[in-house]
């Protein structure tokens, strides 16, 4: 298994996936920082750490499904284009192990992106002179819930990417997920919980609350029920995808 995982990293060494993730997230963070700066100019009370956590969480609903689809597609498409499935089976590499290695590889790359976001949020807050010290607990929650949602999203994306040779389907699913994640706040709570992409916003440790003519950012507890549901979807997508791909004709 470790050798298989190492091979996955070796195969992507020249694909510049790290650079692609950094560029995509750079655009997202720049957009978010500009939005927050305008918001602070209109209402100085918004110059708080919670504002940046909420804005990045909501924008992740648009960007992360698309980034996840691209990363997973590039990692999985190598086996289709190179017709390496038969070669791997001939060398006694279990398809279940290969499936797990690709899943770990993809999510480690995306975890790098999430950690980069957290660092950039701290830098931006310090540059803007947000009051107090960086809220480590909130930032840790941000990292955990974004990783949890991403694990479920990549489990679904990898299933589609390995089951269907034409990666257009997987990329279209990622764009559909980005649309759902971007508009999740417009759906009723019960309805949007069906779609895993909406969890980038639903699991955010910070929410935006309107009170009459005023608005403010407040922290919110993450419900155990929705976390368990996200975990269940992750396990379901991963197991179903692994079984399907392992039994699929080469």
Q: Which residues fall within 8 angstroms of residue 218, CB to CB, at 6 or more apart?
A: 50, 206, 207, 209
For CA atoms 149, 227, 182, 206, the dihedral sign is negative
Pairwise CA distance, residues 77 & 2, whole Å: 21
Residue 89 pLDDT class (50, 70, 90 cuts): low
pLDDT in tens, 30-62: 998 998 889 888 888 788 888 899 999 999 999
Cβ neighbours around 131 below 10 Å, total: 8
User: Span 218-226, mean pLDDT?
Assistant: 84
pLDDT in tens, 143-198: 999 999 999 999 999 999 988 888 889 999 999 999 988 887 777 767 778 889 98
The radius of gyration of the chain's CA atoms, rounded to the nearest angstrom, is: 19
- Beta-strand pair 214-219/206-211: antiparallel
Burial call 98-121: b when 16+ CB within 10 Å, e when fewer: bbbbbbebbbebbeebbeebbebb
pLDDT in tens, 205-216: 988 877 766 777
Residue 66 confidence (pLDDT) above 80:
yes
pLDDT at res. 69: 94
Pairwise CA distance, residues 155 & 68, whole Å: 10
Arithmetic mean of pLDDT over the chain = 86
Tokens 């997987």, residue located: 170
pLDDT at res. 140: 94
pLDDT at res. 13: 80
Q: For residue 114, give both structure tokens.
A: 């999430």
pLDDT at res. 83: 66
pLDDT at res. 146: 94
Strand partners, 219: 206
pLDDT in tens, 102-142: 999 999 999 999 999 999 999 999 988 888 889 999 999 99
């Amino acid at each position: 298994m470790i050798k298989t995982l190492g091979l996955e990293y070796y195969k992507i060494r020249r694909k510049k996936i790290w650079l692609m993730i950094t560029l995509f997230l750079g655009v997202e963070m720049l957009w978010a920082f500009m939005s927050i700066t305008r918001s602070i100019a209109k209402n100085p009370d918004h110059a708080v750490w919670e504002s940046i956590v909420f804005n990045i969480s909501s924008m992740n609903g648009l960007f992360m499904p698309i980034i996840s689809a691209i990363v997973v597609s590039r990692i999985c498409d190598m086996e289709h284009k190179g017709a390496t499935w038969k070669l791997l089976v001939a060398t006694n590499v279990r398809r279940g192990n290969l499936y797990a290695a690709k899943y770990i590889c993809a999510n480690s790359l995306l975890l790098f992106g999430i950690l980069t976001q957290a660092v950039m949020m701290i830098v931006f807050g310090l540059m803007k002179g947000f009051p107090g010290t960086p809220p480590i607990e909130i930032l840790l929650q941000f990292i955990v819930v974004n990783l949890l949602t991403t694990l479920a999203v990549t489990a679904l994306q990898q299933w589609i990417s390995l089951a269907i040779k034409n990666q257009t389907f997987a990329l279209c699913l990622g764009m559909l997920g980005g649309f759902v994640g971007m508009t999740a706040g417009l759906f009723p709570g019960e309805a949007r919980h069906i779609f895993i992409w909406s969890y980038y916003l639903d699991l955010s440790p910070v929410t935006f609350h309107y009170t009459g003519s005023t608005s403010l950012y407040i922290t919110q507890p993450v419900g155990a029920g929705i976390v368990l549901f996200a975990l269940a979807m992750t396990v379901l997508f991963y197991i179903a995808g692994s079984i399907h791909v392992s039994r699929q004709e080469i």
